[in-house]
Structure 1
Amino acid sequence: MRFTFLFRIFGLIIGSLVCVGGVYAQLPGSDGTGATLPSMAPVLSRALPAVVNIAVTQTNTRAAPPLSRWGYAPYYRRAPRPTPRTNNLGSGVIIDAKQGHILTCYHVVKQADTIAVTLHDGRKLNASIIGTDTDSDIAVLKIDADNLESLPIANSDAVRVGDFVLAIGSPFGLNQSVTSGIVSALGRSGLGFDGYENFIQTDAPINPGNSGGALINLQGELIGLNSGILTPGSGNVGIGFAVPSNTAAAIAHQLTRHGEVKRTLLGLLSDDIAIEEDKHLGLESDSGAQIIAVLPGSPAARAGLRSGDIVISLNQHDIRDASDLEQSISLLNSGDRVVFNLMRSGIPTQRRLIIDRQRPHQLYGEEINALLTGTVLRQRPYLPTRSLNRSRVDVVSVAPFSAAAHFGLRPGDGIVSVNNRVINNLADIKSAATKTAAVLDLELHRGNRSLQLTLRR
């Protein structure tokens, strides 16, 4: 009786929520006593056709992804195979039905030779990549098909902790699977993921294969792109993460327009505010980000930003923490005018600047040392906030059968030091790994762990 009563109360609460604001969900049927029962079927009838399954065929072995970035992680850990294979790696969301654009996670289609998309109605189509962005883990695909349905995109800044959500995707290859839950937290960071971290956390069950799928609200709108889980194993324990829709949409816009993300250079390093410093800094709360370093000659330096300044808002967007500030900066475009509201020594102040574009720096390994032949290295195009990943130079690609591949270097590895010298940029690598060096001792950041790797002639 007690559980029946609680279920009816829960049904009434859900019913009240879905009735407010003209939500698509309705309350059909009853339990035989006259009490109405909630159903998400009307919401899903509109959302499901916009969510697709993505399968990737790959001939080159890819590196094992970190546990927090997965499609079918167990398959990646098998020994390399010389023949092509197909894995049901994840999901995607149609965001432009007319153009056939599909939003998904970069790690789902990374190093794909062919990409097959299965639609809600069973049609199977080949897809091409329009553009990818490793730092945000976003990719945009294109298919040629008629009668597609897209998913409307909500303002993720309006999402609140406690909001009911639905996760749609293809866990373990089970197409069009739906789970439900709530928003557990916002702005989640410090997880050790590669790239930017500013996630929506949810307890809606997310499993391998959900990557790139939709996290929607009860209006049937996209609020996040399911990206990963935190788990001691390979299954769900109720801690899932999604890229906010505002971030995903902004990155997708650049990818569809330019084929790449044209990142900007602001030139500052920030950190979260320690709780014990709130009163000392004249703050009413612990929201905001503290600038701890400013790059000389950068737009931030020219605008008069200083180490110790507290960033309260950026272009009227309230800054929660350092990760939120980094994410907000990453979405700016070259030429954008930016207004910073700051607290400096307890006094409110404002600074304005115009963003410069930061051009990516890449270098071929053979320009450094023969042991690195076949690799492409990239200097990170931004100053990261506090992170478990201390690397400033990433391995973009490693040619199969190269010496670097033989010794275990993988795409996505972050180079922390070379021959006991800390690496801050590509010039440091050229200095530490001279052309005549016969041994390269590398300290790497891979996924969520650090490791040592030695390359020898």
Structure 2
Amino acid sequence: MRSLPLFIATLTTSIALSTLPASGQQRQLPSSQAEVQLSFAPVVKQTTPAVVNIYTRKVVQQRQQVASPLLNDPFFRQFFGDQLRLQQQKPRVQNSLGSGVIVESDGLIVTNYHVIREADQITVALSDRREFEAKVVRTDERVDLAVLKIEAKGLPTLSLRDSDTIEVGDLVLAIGNPFGVGQTVTTGIVSGLARTNAGITDYNFFIQTDAAINPGNSGGALVTMDGRLIGINTAIYSRSGGSIGIGFAIPANMVRTMIAGGADANAKVVRAWFGASGQPVTQDLASSLNLARPYGVLINGTFPGSPAERAGLMPGDVVTAIDGREVDDPESLRFRIATLPIGSSAELSYFRKGQAMKTQATLIAPPENPPRDETQMKGNQPLAGATIVNLSPAMVEELGIPGPSQGVMITDIAQGSPAGRVGFRPGDLMVQVNATQIDTVTSLRTAMEKPSQSGWKITFKRGEETLTASFKR
């Protein structure tokens, strides 16, 4: 990475050369004391007090072999040898570190979920070296964000900037605690927007930057030159574990949905629901749909009563923008909807049979219809020990699965249960038992309680595969 003086010199030279003829290859020194003293220091002083270090402790049970006292007896050692070594569980403390950002002066902090996952103790260290124990207010593993609270007042904060206002090439600073060396600031530019193929969270939509981000930076701040938070640093692309200039940050507009409930631990994160499934538009699809280029989301279907259906969308329509913001794939569409408030109206731009159209969709929370009716199967049958639920839009969002939004799914398998022994897994979607189509938990329970004379023939979906298994009574 270029050092700061080299960066400034290069910038000054390019400005000077723009006034010269094309053949001019002169280089120019800074023309004033102010140009020599150009620095990011004012922005750093403004923003770093609001970035914290986060230390977590987790107690894990580690298995190890210990010698039996019988090994001291030569007779037993001769005949049994290492068989006299015993397996013993020994507690071990795991320590990890990350970063966070103060977003409210009374101690509300946002960080990555993976920084505090399963932690038994969370300690927050401020830039002035004060330390506080933190409690978790809310988490959302689907977006890899968590909100913490410490008991402190009058803390420095970072205000959130609309992440849709930045452009590729804008200067940014990444602030965090890489490798535990202490608070560190690195600089770079926005390298890309709307990165949806990073495979990091369920809501794939990231700001890419070449500012150096390393382990320990997770949860730290990505700030713009006006000193506002544009994203939460969350991941890097690396083969070695170190920064190679490809880092990803969760946009501030998604962060805003996490902190909307403030310090209220009962305020759950509920995101707006669209209620349509779709696929990316390829070059071949674009040609067949008379589109000038491949972009947008081709609608495959709409959920009855959903905002998408009420807005008049139909299978075959191609949604190209939400509130004027272009969408290139289903991940972009999902992100745009998820960052809008429930009850708000979104303007949808779409093509229908080659004609550009617009409509309004009033966004709602995903409904839990039908009720989940969570049930653990019991009795002398192959699904005993499996926990099943009715799928609904709300359940699909809660489970973080792409769909479908209807049917009966296994969400858990009890250890050592018949369901586990015969090979069922969480995520299996029940389709049919013998001649009975399965659409509710009640229908599955009834079908399993009344097997045919030969037993049960169960058809289920696992991912994209449809499987059938037969079990005797």
What TM-score comes out, normalization by structure 1 length?
A: 0.72
Match in the other structure for 2:308: 300
Answer with 1 or 2: which has the greater Rg: 2
Match in the other structure for 1:265: 273
Pair 1:242 & 2:242 matched:
no
Distance 2:136 2:413 in 1: 20
Match in the other structure for 1:177: 184
Match in the other structure for 2:397: 381
Q: For residue 55 of structure 1, what is the amino acid of its counterpart?
A: Y
Q: How is 1:224-373 mapped onto 2 (pairs within 5 angstroms)?
A: 224-254=231-261, 256=263, 259-359=267-367, 366-367=376-377, 371=385
Q: CA deviation at 1:222?
A: 0.8
Match in the other structure for 1:70: none
Distance 2:34 2:358 in 1: 60
Distance 1:429 1:134 in 2: 32
Distance 2:270 2:108 in 1: 20
Match in the other structure for 1:42: 42
Match in the other structure for 1:415: 427
Would the alpha carbon gap of residues 61 and 142 (structure 1) be closer, same or farther in structure 2, given more than 3 Å must change?
farther
Would the alpha carbon gap of residues 443 and 194 (structure 1) be closer, same or farther in structure 2, given more than 3 Å must change?
farther
Q: CA deviation at 1:156?
A: 0.8
1:14-62 deviation digits (Å, cap 9, x = unpaired): 999xxxxxxxxxxxxx999997154222111111110011112223579
Distance 1:4 1:47 in 2: 18
> RMSD of the TM alignment (CA)?
4.6
Would the alpha carbon gap of residues 363 and 225 (structure 1) be closer, same or farther in structure 2, given more than 3 Å must change?
farther
Q: Is the 8 A contact 1:269 1:385 kept in 2?
A: no
Q: For residue 415 of structure 1, what is the amino acid of its counterpart?
A: G
Distance 2:188 2:37 in 1: 17
Q: Is the 8 A contact 1:93 1:103 kept in 2?
A: yes
Match in the other structure for 1:116: 123
Distance 2:402 2:6 in 1: 44
Q: For residue 333 of structure 2, what is the amino acid of its counterpart?
A: L
Distance 1:425 1:40 in 2: 60
Distance 2:104 2:285 in 1: 46
1:136-172 deviation digits (Å, cap 9, x = unpaired): 2211111111341001211110111111211111122
Q: Is the 8 A contact 1:56 1:89 kept in 2?
A: yes
Pair 1:167 & 2:179 matched:
no
Q: For residue 237 of structure 1, what is the amino acid of its counterpart?
A: I
Would the alpha carbon gap of residues 259 and 83 (structure 1) be closer, same or farther in structure 2, given more than 3 Å must change?
farther
Identity %: 33
What TM-score comes out, normalization by structure 2 length?
A: 0.69
1:285-340 deviation digits (Å, cap 9, x = unpaired): 44432222222343322332112212122234333432221101122343332331
Q: Is the 8 A contact 1:268 1:383 kept in 2?
A: no
Q: For residue 95 of structure 2, what is the amino acid of its counterpart?
A: N
Q: Is the 8 A contact 1:379 1:394 kept in 2?
A: no
Match in the other structure for 1:95: 103
Pair 1:152 & 2:186 matched:
no
Match in the other structure for 1:125: 132
Q: CA deviation at 1:206?
A: 1.4
Q: For residue 43 of structure 1, what is the amino acid of its counterpart?
A: V
Q: CA deviation at 1:224?
A: 0.6
Q: Is the 8 A contact 2:142 2:400 kept in 1?
A: no
Would the alpha carbon gap of residues 84 and 46 (structure 1) be closer, same or farther in structure 2, given more than 3 Å must change?
farther
Would the alpha carbon gap of residues 311 and 383 (structure 1) be closer, same or farther in structure 2, given more than 3 Å must change?
farther
Q: Aligned to 1:137, which of 141, 144, 149?
A: 144
Distance 2:221 2:296 in 1: 29
Would the alpha carbon gap of residues 134 and 5 (structure 1) be closer, same or farther in structure 2, given more than 3 Å must change?
closer
1:328 aligned counterpart, secondary structure: helix
Would the alpha carbon gap of residues 316 and 31 (structure 1) be closer, same or farther in structure 2, given more than 3 Å must change?
closer
Q: For residue 40 of structure 1, what is the amino acid of its counterpart?
A: F
Distance 1:346 1:231 in 2: 42
Q: Structure 1: 5+ residue runs without aligned partners? A: 17-29, 63-79, 408-412, 446-457
